[in-house]
Structure formats: structure tokens, C-alpha cells
Amino acid sequence: MATTTLLIVMIAYLGGVIAWGIYQGRGVKDHSDYAIAGRGLPGWVAALSERATGESSWALLGLPGFAYASGLTSIWTAVGCVAGIITAWWALSWRLRDESERYQITTFTQYIAEKHPETGLKLRRTASLVLVFFFFFYVGAQFLGGGKTLHSMFNLDPRIGMALTALIIVPYTVYGGFRSVVYTDVVQAIVMITALVIGPIVGIITIAGSPDVFAHSIGDALTLAGGNYGSLTGGASGFMFGTVIAGFSWFFGYLGGQPQLSMRFMAIKDYKQAKQARNIGIAWTVLAYIGALMLGWIGIALFGPTGLEDPEYVMPQVMLRIFPPAIAAILITGAIAAMISTADSLLILSATEFSENLMKKPSSGKSTLKQCRIVTACLAVIALGAAYLSPSTLIYTLVGYVWAGVGGTFSVVILLSLFWKRYHGRAALLTIIVGITFTILWISTGMDARITARIMTFVVALITAILASYFIPKDVRPVNI
């Protein structure tokens, strides 16, 4: 009964999302609308879209699963993420919005190139190649994740599930581009925050009054679970460089270095809307992370520390336990749909970077819009093919480089471009090359297990940027970007 209800709700929900995305796509008139929604997003839309894209399945599956498996130690990861998100909204969002209007940019790498025009063309092409390559596999990973999720919930062949995931995403993304993506993200963000606020409240009431649970409160659950569940350090040696640093290292990837998030900042209509977006984005984040942690700990109280075979499914299992099937189905469907909000955002970003920066632009605006749509469709098909043909370990390995390599490297580039006048184009180009190369070497040699690449890449990229700015002369020759 619960499976049938979930299936019916999922079909209705996803059908509605597709229709909503296509409806919003009617407002796309040119490639600026397609790539950045004409830089006219209301603050609340930008905030909810940025949060849905930034968290997706992490907030509803990953973090609750980590909290279920590790207990209080998971707090440090949440602290790092929340600190990074708040810093980005407070210090970077309005600045990136103003800069995007000043330079009339339509893509993430165009901003970097316009900021450093002396090496603009090289910067634009190098940065776009890096983003398109890694985000192409990132999209493939979302297809893989969708296939696995549908398999686990409905015993559907994962390959069919991957195709269905693509069929959900591609129509409205190809048609409406960035505009359709952000407005569908709004729906996901509302469902996500509903699950993450109401779920813990109902969960606490449920465990307090149910006789057949492992514990009747979160505190008792962490104590009875034994081991290190009730410890903030997880019993780890080298506490400062282990538990705290590894968790807090997520902070650095949020500082402008995730293009799919920074583009939401750049698309906000004006400064007033940017302030509204900041307040909504920060409030959403704090509530969501508290709720995600609590869902994991409530899972311990309901099922015990070993009651679930896969910790990342603690959220669906908790929802099915504490809510009637129809309500649980809506909230669980929101978790699955949230994964889609990452896939469509990565797809449109990759397509616009490729179309705008790596291909020759057509002479007319309508031809440019048509080119963007064709590229988006082609990349989606190729990414799905890669997900089918490439070993999943290869795809997830490449995705592992994204937060450290792309996030850590481009965070340095964005921060110094915004705040340090001495930083120049040649230094930015070297920062990107060194940051990405270092990440690949650091992870592939196993050093990431000792000190996470999420912090090491940021440090190495920052040192490279500073030294290059001082010791490599600025190229003063004008370059057409």
C-alpha cells in the first residue's frame, strides 16, 4: 500500500514539476534569459533556488544518513557547511550581483574573464573546459543516483531508472534553460524545508510516545547506541586536525567556487532583492541543517544504530514510520526531486559554458538561443550515455574532485577577484591550473585520507594566487575576450 501511494504521488509530483518548468520557459526570449534569466530574479526565487541546488539530496539523504551513522560528530560537518553558506550570502551574494550587472555577464567564467581582460580569452576557455569536463560527469552521477534510488524504492532496473531521471530533467531544461531550472528549484526547496522542519517535530513526539522504539528521546538514543555516538569528537585522535578540520573543510567550497550557486547570486534583480534573498537563504539553511541532523538522530531512536542496512535511507524510513503513507510519500518524493534540482542546474551550467565560451556564437540572437538548446540536449544525451558505459566508480571519483578541485580553486579566484586589486589574469590562470592539478594528484595518491583535499586545495590555490600576483608581472596587452 505504501509503495503504491508513493508511486502515485511521485508521478503526480514530477509531472507537475515538468509542467511548471515548461510553463516558466515561455518567458525565455533570448540567450540572456536562457543562461541567467535576464538577471531579473526576485530575491525569494534566487534564495530558494540556490538552496535547493546547493543541498539537494545531501540535506535529505546524505546528512541525515551521516548523522545516523556517526552521532554527534556530524555536527562539525553541519557547522562547516552552514558557516560557508552564511558567509557566501552575507559577503558575496550582493557583490557578485553588482559585478554581473556591471559587466553584463551571462556565464560564470565570463565574469572571471571580464574581471581580468588582459588574459580574458585564455581564462575563459581554460575555466570553461575545467567546468564542462567535471560537471559533465557530475550530471552523469545524478543520473546514476536517480537510477539507484528508483531501484531501491520500486525494484526498478537501475538502467531504466537512469533513463527516467533524464526524461524528467531534459524537457524543461532544454526548453526554458536557467529560468525553468530556478523556478522548479523553488518547488523543491519548499518541499525540502517542509520535510526538514515538520519531520523532526513529529519525530520527537512519536519517539516520546511509542512503546516499540529503541529510545524515547534523542539524548537517550545517542547514549544507548554506545561507542562514540554521544561524543563530539567521535573518539578520534588528533581531534583538531581530524574531526573538526575534516568537517569544517566544507566551508571553503561555498565561497563563490561553486558556479551553479554563484550564478543564482548573479541573476538577482537588484540590491534590494539581494538583501531579501540573503535573509531567506540564511534562515532556510539554519532550519534545514538542524532538521537534517535531528532526522538522523531520530532514526537512531526509532531503529537503533544498526537497524538500517543503508544509513542514507534513514530519512525515507523515518518519514514512513511517523507519517501516514500519503504525507510520507509527498515528503519522500521531495527528497528524490531535490536530486533533480542539482542535475538540471549542472546541465544548464555546462551547456551555457560550452555554448557561450567554447563555440563560435551565431550572428543573431535567435540562432544563439537555438544553439544553447541544442547543446543542452546533446550534453544530456552524452552524459546519460557516459553514465551507462563508464564504470560508476570512475564517475563518482571524478565527482569527488568537484567540491575540492572546482570549489576550492574557484573560491580563491572569486574571492581575490572581488577583494584584491593586485590579483591579475596570469595569476588567476595559474591558480586554476595548479588547483585542479593538485586536487587530482592529492586524491589519486591517497593523501585525501590523511588531510582532506577540500582544505588542502584551497590553501595551495591561495598560496599560488598570492605568489603569482607578486612575482609574475601582469600582462598589459589588451586581449579580445
pLDDT digits (tens, 9 = 90+) for 68-89: 999 998 999 899 999 999 999 9
Produce one character per residue of 372-400: b if its CB has 16 or more CB atoms within 10 Å, e if not.
bbebbbebbeebbebbeeeeeeebeebbe
Residue 234 has pLDDT above 70, yes or no: no
Name the phi and psi angles at 198, rounded to 5.
-75, -40
Q: Which of 220-234, 351-365, 427-441 has the lowest mean pLDDT?
A: 351-365
Question: pTM score, two decimals?
Answer: 0.92
Residue 459 has pLDDT above 60, yes or no: yes
Which burial class, exposed, middle or buried, applies to 440 when counting CB atoms under 10 A from its CB (0-12, 13-18, 19+)? middle
Distances (CA, A) of 168 to 143, 146, 252, 411: 11, 11, 32, 31
Q: Which is more confident, 237 or 290?
A: 290
Residues β-bridged to residue 268: 41
Give me the residue spans of the domains in the chain: 2-391
d(CA 353, CA 178): 12
Residue-wise pLDDT for 396-446, tens only, equals 677 778 888 999 999 999 999 999 999 999 999 999 999 999 999 999 999
Task: With cut-offs at 50, 70 and 90, classify the pLDDT of residue 394.
Answer: confident
Distances (CA, A) of 184 to 93, 164, 258, 324, 347: 21, 17, 20, 26, 14
Helix intervals (H) in 425-474? 425-444, 453-471
Residues β-bridged to residue 41: 268
d(CA 109, CA 111): 5
CATH class of 2-391: mainly alpha
Q: What is the pLDDT of residue 122?
A: 92
CB 138 within 8 Å of CB 399: yes
SS3 of the chain: helix, strand, coil, percent, to 5: 85, 0, 15
Q: Which of 176-190, 194-208, 351-365 has the lowest mean pLDDT?
A: 351-365
Q: In this structure, what DSSP letter does residue 41 have?
A: B
Task: With cut-offs at 50, 70 and 90, classify the pLDDT of residue 240.
Answer: very low
Cα four-point dihedral sign 79, 182, 372, 108: negative
Amino acid occupying residue 475:
D
Q: What is the pLDDT of residue 1?
A: 60
Q: What is the pLDDT of residue 393?
A: 72
Task: With cut-offs at 50, 70 and 90, classify the pLDDT of residue 249.
Answer: confident
Q: Which of 115-119, 187-191, 386-390, 427-431 has the lowest mean pLDDT?
A: 386-390
- DSSP assignment string, 245-300: HHHHGGGGGGSS--HHHHHHHHTBSSHHHHHHHHHHHHHHHHHHHHHHHHHHHHHH
